[in-house]
Structure 1
Amino acid sequence: MTPFDDLGLLRAFVAIVESGSISAAARKLRLTQPTLSRQLRALEDQCGAALLRRDTHRMSLTDLGHQLLADAQALLSLAEESGQRLRNDQTALSGTIRVFSTIDFGQSVVSRLISSFIQAHPGVRMELGYSNRPVRMIEEGCDAGIFAGTVSDDRVVARPLGEIRRYVVASPALLKDHKIAGKPEDLGALPWVGLAGNQFGGTTDITLHSGAATQALRVEHLFVTEGVTSIREAVRMGLGIAVLPEWLIDEDLTSGRIVRVLPEWHAKPLSAQIIYPAQRRVPLRVRAFIDFATEYMTTALKPRHGARAAPPFLTGSDKRTSRS
């Protein structure tokens, strides 16, 4: 008999660890403390070693206890989800999904994505947090993250969602005061507003592209910020020119409030991707959200004509990121 043959013993062990004591776990499981102590001893007998170190002041996991805890939590979660599928219609998703995103992208595109997903699956509840540190959010228990930029960590799996195109833009008023001869190198002397952090394209070295041609610029920023919405506001006021993502400035370009500078040139696109833990089992509701996000973003990011849609959720089609 192995420790995984009795889910009741595993459930008792997990409850003790998560509750912090046998007495608290007994109250949670509505069992007597002696009964729960016997279940813990039975599990330790099956393992052939102690799972917990206990004294009068504290309780801690042994190395074997740490290993068993992760496996037990995954097995109990799978059993719970399987039972839920038996009780409910196969298409009825339920439960809570914790998602994070970068601030500006999350407050606009990702918020609309989540609203659409909940409308399609009313039994699901979602929590959205913001962070520019994706791996930390995964470590804190988030199920998935929608991220603009690069991720380099082998603890997460990343699925591409498309490209975020970026343009050099300015207000019409600023362009009246600063004449541009029509060459990218002329832009280096203009006032710039920039994004902090190389991860999201923020740098004093900007490279513009036009077909096969490239032009590197060294610029000096008057104003540097961590959010592209802040940059857009500064550009609207005529403070300077900037590189901004297409999804953020669509309405401004249509209204003429801001305009593209040298429209035949553009900055390098950023990748958009959804990430989730590489080692953690992905629940059904999270897999459904990942598939939904992949399809949704093909429209939200306005792919060029002929761009192929992303594949359905298959582990083999996903890309595990590697450390840089």
Structure 2
Amino acid sequence: MDFQSLEAFVKIAESHSLSAAARLYDLPKSTISLRLRQLEGQIGAELFTRRGKTLELTDAGCVLLERARQILALCDDASAAVSLVHEEAAGVIKIGATGEFGTALNAQMLSAFRQAYPRIQLDLVFFSPSVFLDLSRQRIFDAVLSFDEAGGVDRHAEVLTTVTHGLYASPHYLSQLGTPIETAHLSNHRGVLYRTADGIQSWKLKRKKQSVEVQPTGDIVANDYWTLKYFTVASAGIALLPQFFTELECRYNHLVPVLPQWQTEARPICIRVPDQRYMAPKTRAFIDFCKSYFQPGFTFVGPRYYVESLSIQAGTSSQTPQELKE
């Protein structure tokens, strides 16, 4: 039996769509479809039936799915056993991650992981938080990284660290409109706003035992933190951003904290392993590395992304710092 066709079948079964499986794994839809037809030819039975836009397993497909997962798991076991002989984690590790900070957090951490484990190959898929719950516990991935809501951590998740948001603006913006010294003054400012699945995000801030919720106004709304940060550096307004996400911009005075004593509740960054009954050496190595990455004293050496400001004078612009490498 063709293992590629078997793996394609499992991917289609878990995503309930040829198109979704093709997008998720960056394969042409025609390739996924061909592998499915080849497998159905080998089995001698149809494996899916279509209901609207969704593919559902036939009785034969349900039986095969259970066996296919066992076969693919045994292949992973064999690869892991070979790795153990060499006493080194190796092979392909498939990592899913919610994409809020792909380059600022996940890519940077994975770059450091690659330096520590050069024999492990990375297969990384970013997806939106809205599809996270559908994918996090399936066997599609070896591990899933997510930026969870405060208080929303389930028993399958392990918290790696927590992240707090604060308000930020460019020095140029504050020089033009003034620096707020109380939360009540925020109503006089423009916001660069984040859109969640439920609508525009309000600013829920705390200072010791005090709390306030501000519904800012603004003409820039996005569901991507990089876009928010870019426009904030470009003096479009004040944005609520994760503190680690603004570290380099603040270091180079492209952004400054606004009302720094007011912050959001801490949100956890979590890791989940879809199948906790079995963990290959490569997955264990990845989880252990993720834990160490967020410990105090970890030193990262590699390229880091940041947004630089523009110095606008007489209709010309110049960009100053070159790409930072630490």
Calculate the TM-score normalised by the size of structure 2: 0.67
Q: How much does 1:24 deviate? A: 8.4
Q: How many residues align?
A: 257
Report Cα offsets for 1:239-272 as digits up to 9, x if no partner: 1101111122112222222111112111223211
Q: Counterpart of 1:96?
A: 92
Cα gap change, 1:244 to 1:74, in 2 (>3 Å): same
Which residue is equivalent to 2:248? 251
Distance 1:235 1:301, change over 3 A: farther
Residue ranges of structure 1 left out of the alignment (5+ in a row): 1-11, 26-51, 303-324
1:143 corresponds to:
142
2:119 and 2:271 map into 1 onto residues whose CA distance is 22
C-alpha distance after superposition, 1:127-185 (max 9, x if no partner): 2222123345555822222222339697x932111111211111122222323562112
What SS does the corresponding residue of 2:156 show, helix, strand or coil?
Answer: strand
Secondary structure in 1 aligned to 2:266?
strand
Deviations 1:29-71 (A, max 9, x none): xxxxxxxxxxxxxxxxxxxxxxx6648xx99726444433333
1:84 aligns to 2:45 (yes or no): no
Q: 1:124 to 1:180 in 2, by over 3 A?
A: closer
Cα distance in 2 between the residues matched to 1:301 and 1:222: 39
Please tell me whether the aligned partners of residues 162 and 271 of structure 1 are also in contact (alpha carbons under 8 angstroms).
yes
Q: Please state if 1:184 is matched with 2:183.
A: yes
* Equivalence map 1:162-241=2 (5 Å): 162-180=161-179, 182-197=181-196, 203-241=200-238
C-alpha separation in 2, matches of 1:211 and 1:131: 35
Query: TM-score, normalising length from structure 1?
Result: 0.67
- Residue 104 of structure 2 is aligned to residue 108 of structure 1: yes
Question: Which residue number in structure 2 is paired with residue 134 of structure 1?
Answer: 132
The residue type paired with residue 99 of structure 2 is I
Greater mean alpha carbon deviation, residues 291-300 or residues 92-101:
291-300
Aligned partners of 1:161 and 1:294 also within 8 Å:
yes
Work out the CA distance in 1 between the residues paired with 2:174 and 2:61.
67
Question: 245-254 vs 132-141, which deviates more?
Answer: 132-141
Aligned to 1:281: 278
Supply the distance in 2 between the matched residues of 1:16 and 1:225 (Cα, whole angstroms): 39
Give the match's secondary structure for 1:267. Answer: coil
Cα offsets for 1:68-127 (capped at 9, x unmatched): 33334334432x1453146x322x111011223333522122212112212111211112
C-alpha distance in structure 1 between counterparts of 2:208 and 2:233, whole Å? 28
Q: Residue deviations 1:3-30, cap 9 Å, x none?
A: xxxxxxxxx69788557658987xxxxx
Tell me how far apart the structure 1 counterparts of residues 298 and 261 of structure 2 sit (CA, whole Å). 20
CA RMSD of aligned residues (A): 3.5
* Residue range with higher mean Cα deviation, 121-130 or 172-181: 172-181
Contact kept in structure 2, 1:144 and 1:276, CA below 8 Å: yes
2:55 corresponding residue in structure 1: none
* Counterpart secondary structure, 1:235: helix
Are the counterparts in 1 of residues 80 and 280 from structure 2 also a CA contact under 8 Å?
Answer: no
| SS of aligned partner of 1:100 | strand
Aligned to 1:264: 261
| Percent sequence identity over aligned pairs | 19
Q: Structure 1 residue 121 and structure 2 residue 120: aligned? A: no
Q: Which runs of 5+ in 2 are unaligned?
A: 8-34, 50-57, 300-326
Q: Using the alignment, how far apart are the partners of 2:40 and 2:229 within structure 1?
A: 56
Contact 1:208-1:214 within 8 A present in 2 as well: yes
Could you say which residue in structure 1 is the equivalent of 2:292?
Answer: 295
C-alpha distance 286-183 of structure 1, shift in aligned 2 (>3 A): same
Cα gap change, 1:23/1:100 in structure 2, threshold over 3 Å: closer, same or farther? Answer: closer
Once residues 198 and 23 of structure 1 are traced to their aligned partners in structure 2, the CA distance between those partners, rounded to angstroms, is 38
CA distance in 1, matches of 2:61, 2:123: 33
Are 2:167 and 2:241, in contact at CA under 8 Å, matched by a contact in 1? yes
- Give the CA deviation at 1:214: 1.1
